[in-house]
Amino acid sequence: MCIRSRYSLSQVDLKESLHPVIDHSRNKLATKNISLHVRLGDQPLVIHADPMRMHQLFFNLFENAFRYTDANGHVLLSAELLENHIKIEISDSTPCVPQEDMEHIFQRFYRVERSRNRASGGTGLGLSICRNIVKAHNASITAKHSAAGGLTITILFPRNISHALT
């Protein structure tokens, strides 16, 4: 079965998909005194996508940032319009993911902190779901250490150039 068959694709401005998630996440992050900084720019960020899956993608990424960012930390969401892509980055502060775990974090059921239980650390499905959503949209997702000592998730979506030019 093709993953894309369960998707309903249309023109989506990623900013519109992000705003409800940003509002929800800002309030949730505040419960741990984690600040959220948003840099989306002024231009529309239009791609061909399933709006519900975009909501799910961003919700999962912010949920991951909430779970794995220490209290009093910060999360940065940024977007950059590139020639052929739209780059979305979500970076958080400490703690970091150990280097030996970095290549595995998008695998199903993989959890960096094996001592965490489902109630506090999740099932290990969130980033795997994100990877599947991103791949179904012909995009890429990567992870690296952030400058603030945590994790940076980078997604490169192919731009819908024909729509952006009209």
Reported as a single tens digit per residue, the pLDDT across 10-27 is 999 999 999 999 999 999
Q: Percent of the chain beyond pLDDT 90? A: 72
Q: Which of the residue ranges 6-20, 41-55, 69-83, 121-135 would you say has the lowest mean pLDDT?
A: 121-135
The residue written with tokens 């401005």 in the block is 13
pTM of the model: 0.85
* Average pLDDT taken over every residue of the chain: 87
Bridge partners (DSSP) of residue 131 are none
| CB atoms closer than 10 angstroms to residue 148 | 17
pLDDT digits (tens, 9 = 90+) for 78-130: 999 999 999 999 999 999 888 888 888 887 756 666 433 334 455 567 899 99
